[in-house]
Structure 1
Amino acid sequence: MPATRRSLAPDLARGFMLLVIATVHAHMFRLATTGEGYALDGALDVAVTACMALFAENRGYPMFAALFGYGLAQIYLRRTAEGREWPWVRRLLRRRGRWLVAIGIAHTVLLFFGDIISVYGLIALLFAGVLRFTDRRLLTHAFAWMAVGSLVYALVNNVAFGAAKGEAQGAEATPLTDMVMRLVTLPFFWPLMIGISVFPFMVGIWAARRRLLEEPERHRALLRKAALFGIGAAVLGGIPQALINVEVWAPSAVVATGVFWVHLLVGYAGGFGYASAIALIALRMGERRGPVVAALAATGQRSMTCYLLQSVAWAVLIPPYMLGIAGSLTDAQAVGVGAAVWLGTVVLADLMRRAGFKQGPAEWFLRRMTYGRPAAAPVEGARAG
């Protein structure tokens, strides 16, 4: 689809969610580097840490997973509309999934332990068949994954990972030891992230069948309800976790696990609410495209490239053998660094757009590996002959 005819809402949503992801990661790096909890050094730090719990933490990945499901369903619907049989479409989707896994593993080896690209690739490989489910069967499976996957993730996060809080750091980190640690944790990271991503992935498929983001004018009432309820539920349901994060409340481990589970569940609602609100904003804008909107849409259109660029920034800024700035930051400063990294990717994405590149390098590579080299157009002389 030509860039000028792309639906605005999905690209705006991805561009905005990259901001959420960048600030959450930066905040997390500050926490993980010290192992001593959040800094909470003054009213600003407390306010920022609370706001991150209410509006950002575990709100970004559900929307990204939903958008991934939405995009995969679009591919399925377009190819079947062209008359392609299911075995051909399945092979296409699985080839795309395999290359996503390959890109994600390379991302993990070289840059970042929290890669999500390989997780989406595995979901494409394991769950391509759900694209043919009826709505009822699809949503039944989705809500089952929501309940079980989020509970398992909450248990592991608060019982296993929470036990490591405040422990003394081990041997001095090096590029090699960091790479080994990322690879060692990958087999444990994958099932946890799959467990909490399948639900929004399936909801994204359901939404794509109704073209909620491509035709928001037909779904205004539903989108308004989803935005109000989803964002409201995320904020209200996030208050207990925010109180824990700012150390106003120190519940038992069992209660803390339950609170975090609720935080994950309302995070799904928040992610869907953000997507709905952005669809309504895009609808209100109509055909208007100012420089800010164009830059945000360019970022969303190149979301994988911009996500990988964020990891390049973290690889330079965070490790102690590089700039190692995380431990010296306050909570507010860490979030500011995350926003600055995101803004840098927005500028780069917009420069690509202005230069005439319709895709980022990561998107170009994935498309080439999925579809192969495009057929060469016949030259005029050949047609005349």
Structure 2
Amino acid sequence: MSHTARGESPSAPGALPAGQRSLAPDLARGVMLLIIATVHAHLFRQVAGAGGFSLEGPADIGVTAVMALFAENRGYPMFAALFGYGLAQIHRRRTAEGREWPWVRRLLRRRGLALVAIGVAHTGLLFYGDIIAAYGLIALVFTAAMGMGDRRLLVHAAAWMAAGTLAYALVSTQLFAAASENAGAEVTWLSDALMRLAVLPFFLPLMVAISVFPFLVGVWAGRRRLLERPQDHLPLLRRAAAWGIAAGVAGGAPQALINVEVWHVGPVTATAVFWLHLLTGYAAGFGYAALIALAAHWLDNRSGARRGPVVTALAATGQRSMTCYLLQSAAWAVLVPTYALGLGPGWNDTGAVALGAGVWLATVLLADAMRRAGLRGGPAEWLLRRMTYGRPSPPAAS
């Protein structure tokens, strides 16, 4: 029977062996998780009832400005682009094996359904700001993007860039204002979980709206193997790193001035500034990914397969990015809510960002420990593979 026969299970479910993985995508995911951890910790002061940024002196003011310039709304675009890149890798590998498009489409959609299930569970159990379910919905709805021509793909991406960010800016500013007014209300674990699940149907479309554009750009980049073969794309990567990061800083400056309370604006201007912040956040996220690809190229040329312990640990974190992302949420669930340790209101801006970096560092150490133990992925990656591919087939009798 042909190995493309309908209903056949893949012969090798699971992640690529470590020796066959490219450094840049894993390194980018590992660094991206630092941005996500510090941003979440910085914003949790408002959710925990601290009433906005503390701005208790030059350190807090500097930290808040730096977060607006380099981190807030700059990490998730890179994450979404890497998700699109990863799906393009799966599509390319399975097609190269001889799999036909209907088979590959079913595989990608099973992966999307698994991500939605994991994301909903993540929301109910731990964290209101889940992005996993949003990526699962994108995988379900936009699977056809794998077969689009480049021009059509980028036209769709541009449309989502404009419309998605505008919708998010208009709605989210109102949601943030409502959340600030209700901050500090007495909650229990059950009421908090129910509230997170009740908000999810409204939050999820917003996350999808701002994630489709970087996802489609990631698919485009994955076709060209920009991160796997950076040596073939050095001029493009250098331009993307330089111009993307510069645009992110320039576009983040107005939001930074608002956050540090130097510039006081009305609702309309605040929404317009936030929209600019979102748009230039895409450029920054792509710029970070390009910069990390250039760094990976330099590291591979300098040391080949002999990577230092820091790079190895960061790559191990990226290889287990979903597990580490969920571990961050578990940390926030213990540290932030009033029904747990309730530490959030006591943080200042500097302390919150430092704590976020500390949580990220703990996940890096855990990921490297998993690597040393010979585990090819973390528990979340194992679960996603099992839900996508099913139980591995037993070896055929000789």
Q: Same-fold call, TM > 0.5?
A: yes
Deviation track 1:274-294 (CA, whole Å, cap 9, x = no partner) reads: 000000000000123100000
Please say if residues 295 and 346 of structure 1, whose CA atoms lie closer than 8 Å, have aligned partners that are also in contact: yes
Distance, in Å, in 1 between the alignment partners of 2:179 and 2:79 is: 28
Please say if residues 223 and 276 of structure 1, whose CA atoms lie closer than 8 Å, have aligned partners that are also in contact: yes
2:88 alignment partner AA: A
1:310 to 280, 303, 328: 328
Report the counterpart of residue 256 of structure 1 in structure 2: 270
- Of stretches 166-175 and 71-80 in structure 1, the one that deviates more from structure 2 is 166-175
2:352 alignment partner AA: A
Deviation track 1:137-184 (CA, whole Å, cap 9, x = no partner) reads: 0000000000000001011122x1243265254751100110011001
Q: Structure 1 residue 337 and structure 2 residue 337: aligned?
A: no
Shift of the 37–265 alpha-carbon distance from structure 1 to 2, 3 Å rule, reads same
- Of stretches 11-20 and 81-90 in structure 1, the one that deviates more from structure 2 is 81-90
- Runs of 4+ aligned residues of structure 1 deviating over 4 Å after TM superposition are 168-171
Distance, in Å, in 1 between the alignment partners of 2:293 and 2:104 is: 28
Pairing 1:296-307 to 2, within 5 Å after superposition: 296-307=314-325
Q: CA deviation at 1:35?
A: 5.3
1:368 alignment partner AA: R
Please say if residues 35 and 166 of structure 1, whose CA atoms lie closer than 8 Å, have aligned partners that are also in contact: no
Report the counterpart of residue 309 of structure 2 in structure 1: 291
Deviation track 1:332-355 (CA, whole Å, cap 9, x = no partner) reads: 000011000000000000000001
2:62 to 47, 50, 53: 47
Report the counterpart of residue 322 of structure 1 in structure 2: 340
Please say if residues 45 and 51 of structure 2, whose CA atoms lie closer than 8 Å, have aligned partners that are also in contact: no
Please say if residues 47 and 183 of structure 2, whose CA atoms lie closer than 8 Å, have aligned partners that are also in contact: no
Q: CA deviation at 1:377?
A: 3.0
1:335 alignment partner AA: V
Report the counterpart of residue 3 of structure 2 in structure 1: none
Deviation track 1:180-226 (CA, whole Å, cap 9, x = no partner) reads: 11001000001100000000000000001100000000000000000
Q: CA deviation at 1:65?
A: 0.3
Distance, in Å, in 1 between the alignment partners of 2:274 and 2:47 is: 18
Extract unaligned runs of 5+ from structure 2.
1-15
Report the counterpart of residue 278 of structure 1 in structure 2: 292
Report the counterpart of residue 10 of structure 2 in structure 1: none
SS in 2 for 1:34: coil
Q: CA deviation at 1:372?
A: 1.7
Please say if residues 68 and 204 of structure 1, whose CA atoms lie closer than 8 Å, have aligned partners that are also in contact: yes
User: What TM-score, normalized by structure 1, do the two folds share?
Assistant: 0.96
Report the counterpart of residue 23 of structure 1 in structure 2: 38
1:126 to 127, 132, 141: 141
Report the counterpart of residue 9 of structure 2 in structure 1: none
Number of residue pairs matched by the alignment: 379
Report the counterpart of residue 154 of structure 1 in structure 2: 169
Please say if residues 48 and 183 of structure 2, whose CA atoms lie closer than 8 Å, have aligned partners that are also in contact: no
Report the counterpart of residue 237 of structure 2 in structure 1: 223
Distance, in Å, in 2 between the alignment partners of 1:97 and 1:165 is: 30
Shift of the 121–165 alpha-carbon distance from structure 1 to 2, 3 Å rule, reads closer
Distance, in Å, in 2 between the alignment partners of 1:166 and 1:154 is: 16
Extract unaligned runs of 5+ from structure 1.
none
Q: Structure 1 residue 356 and structure 2 residue 374: aligned?
A: yes
1:110 to 125, 130, 143: 125
Report the counterpart of residue 8 of structure 2 in structure 1: none
Distance, in Å, in 2 between the alignment partners of 1:27 and 1:197 is: 22
1:212 alignment partner AA: L
Distance, in Å, in 1 between the alignment partners of 2:182 and 2:88 is: 46
Distance, in Å, in 1 between the alignment partners of 2:276 and 2:335 is: 33
Distance, in Å, in 2 between the alignment partners of 1:83 and 1:219 is: 28
Report the counterpart of residue 76 of structure 2 in structure 1: 61
Q: Structure 1 residue 3 and structure 2 residue 21: aligned?
A: no
Q: CA deviation at 1:374?
A: 2.1
Distance, in Å, in 2 between the alignment partners of 1:307 and 1:317 is: 16
Distance, in Å, in 1 between the alignment partners of 2:127 and 2:337 is: 11
Q: CA deviation at 1:2?
A: 1.5
Report the counterpart of residue 12 of structure 2 in structure 1: none
Report the counterpart of residue 374 of structure 1 in structure 2: 392
Deviation track 1:105-155 (CA, whole Å, cap 9, x = no partner) reads: 110110000011111000000100111000000000000000000001011
Q: What is the percentage of aligned positions where both structures have the same residue?
A: 68
Report the counterpart of residue 261 of structure 2 in structure 1: 247
User: What TM-score, normalized by structure 2, do the two folds share?
Assistant: 0.93
Pairing 1:176-195 to 2, within 5 Å after superposition: 176-195=190-209
SS in 1 for 2:263: coil
2:212 to 185, 198, 202: 198
Shift of the 48–170 alpha-carbon distance from structure 1 to 2, 3 Å rule, reads closer
Report the counterpart of residue 209 of structure 1 in structure 2: 223
Distance, in Å, in 2 between the alignment partners of 1:365 and 1:151 is: 35
Pairing 1:90-109 to 2, within 5 Å after superposition: 90-109=105-124
